[in-house]
């Protein structure tokens, strides 16, 4: 899932307002439903919360860890300007688009990942040494990046997880505990300003705990199926949505049931709805929208058929 309000409302309806467990029995089948936020959306939300943090007038947050070290977006700007002056840049992928993103650039997944990955972590460690005693101010950013870089590295790992004793799962548990302790150790009257948004923290827990539940559910079956972190994404769903809204319905962002029925059949029959980079590439293909074939085909035109459907 992404962080859309409709998805969040559905999750709260099934799990409660402040869920600690992100799976629940399905009311339709014997299986369980796992609510897991897409890692790309989570990383972008984390980056956006850091952008809002600082001492300037336009900053709405001042992220502060329990050890009182602060996290400012100005620190990332200062590092970028310092790194641009080096003959051999530490973070070669970093550009103005990463540091000064507009509303459209904020939607780019790679821009958020490049700011929160291990390359940025190692670059900040060297930058801290260059600042000498003044570098202590970067302790909060470095501690923060130590955990976000773990998220990026694990969820972009192409090696399958074949057992629950995999070290990557233990690392995810530690990352989740760190963010949870940050919330718990922040005074109630400071949470709104010194923490990331409540939705952001909730999405982090949903992403991590949902992934752990997914691994447990799949591996418990003891089949030849494994979980590859890099393939856990919503690409196939977004691909179908894109075709539903634009390819077949002329940029119609709200198709009705009849339009959806006709379109999904065209998608299934006309072109693939499975992304090779998604887990669905290993699953069965999509099924067409169910149509009652018992009734004889009508020959009175589309308008009459629409009335019969209604």
Averaged pLDDT for residues 107-129:
95
pLDDT tens string 267-294 = 776 655 454 544 444 444 445 545 444 5
Averaged pLDDT for residues 108-128:
95
The domains of the chain are located at: 5-29+32-230, 235-309
pLDDT tens string 122-171 = 999 999 999 999 999 999 999 999 999 999 999 999 999 999 999 999 99
Nearest to 55 by CA among 193, 192, 186: 193
Q: Helices 139-155 and 109-116 sit at what angle, rounded to 10 degrees?
A: 130
Task: Write down the pLDDT at residue 18.
Answer: 80
Task: Write down the pLDDT at residue 280.
Answer: 44
Averaged pLDDT for residues 38-52:
95
Averaged pLDDT for residues 51-69:
93
pLDDT higher than 80, residue 103: yes
Bridge-based pairing state of the strands 70-71 and 32-34: unpaired
Averaged pLDDT for residues 13-37:
84
Within 8 A by CB and 6+ apart from 168, the residues are 154, 157, 161, 229
Task: Write down the pLDDT at residue 309.
Answer: 47
- Tokens, residue 208: 């991590």
Task: Write down the pLDDT at residue 30.
Answer: 73
Task: Write down the pLDDT at residue 254.
Answer: 74
What secondary structure does DSSP assign to 233-256, as a single string? SSHHHHHHHHIIIIITTSS-SS--
Averaged pLDDT for residues 211-235:
88
Within 8 A by CB and 6+ apart from 2, the residues are 37, 38, 41, 234
CA angle at residue 104 from 144 to 207, to 5 degrees? Answer: 40
- pLDDT-based confidence at 24, cuts 50/70/90? confident
pLDDT tens string 250-270 = 666 677 788 777 777 777 766
Task: Write down the pLDDT at residue 247.
Answer: 65
- Tokens, residue 144: 């923060």
């Amino acid at each position: 899932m992404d962080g859309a309000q409709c998805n969040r409302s559905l999750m709260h309806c099934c799990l409660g307002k402040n869920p600690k467990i992100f799976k629940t029995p399905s009311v339709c089948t014997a299986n369980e439903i796992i609510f897991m936020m897409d890692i790309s959306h989570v990383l972008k939300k984390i980056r956006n919360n850091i952008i809002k943090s600082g001492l300037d007038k336009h900053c709405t947050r001042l992220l502060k860890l329990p050890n009182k070290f602060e996290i400012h977006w100005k620190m990332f700007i200062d590092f970028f300007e310092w790194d641009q002056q080096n003959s051999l840049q530490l973070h070669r992928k970093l550009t103005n688009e990463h540091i000064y993103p507009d509303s459209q650039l904020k939607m780019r997944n790679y821009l958020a990942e490049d700011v929160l990955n291990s390359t940025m972590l190692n670059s900040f460690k060297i930058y801290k040494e260059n600042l000498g005693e003044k570098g202590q101010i970067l302790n909060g950013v470095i501690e923060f990046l130590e955990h976000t870089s773990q998220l990026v590295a694990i969820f972009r790992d192409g090696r399958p997880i074949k057992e629950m004793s995999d070290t990557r799962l233990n690392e995810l548990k530690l990352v989740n505990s760190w963010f949870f302790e940050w919330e718990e150790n922040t005074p109630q009257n400071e949470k709104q300003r010194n923490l990331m948004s409540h939705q952001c923290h909730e999405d982090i827990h949903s992403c991590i705990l949902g992934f752990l539940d997914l691994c447990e559910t799949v591996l418990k079956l003891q089949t030849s199926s494994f979980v590859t972190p890099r393939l856990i994404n919503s690409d196939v769903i977004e691909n179908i949505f894109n075709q539903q809204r634009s390819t077949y319905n002329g940029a119609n962002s709200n198709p009705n049931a009849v339009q959806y029925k006709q379109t999904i059949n065209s998608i299934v029959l006309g072109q693939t709805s499975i992304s090779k980079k998604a887990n669905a590439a290993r699953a069965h293909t999509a099924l067409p929208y169910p149509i009652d074939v018992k009734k004889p085909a009508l020959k009175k035109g589309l308008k009459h058929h629409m009335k019969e459907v209604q």
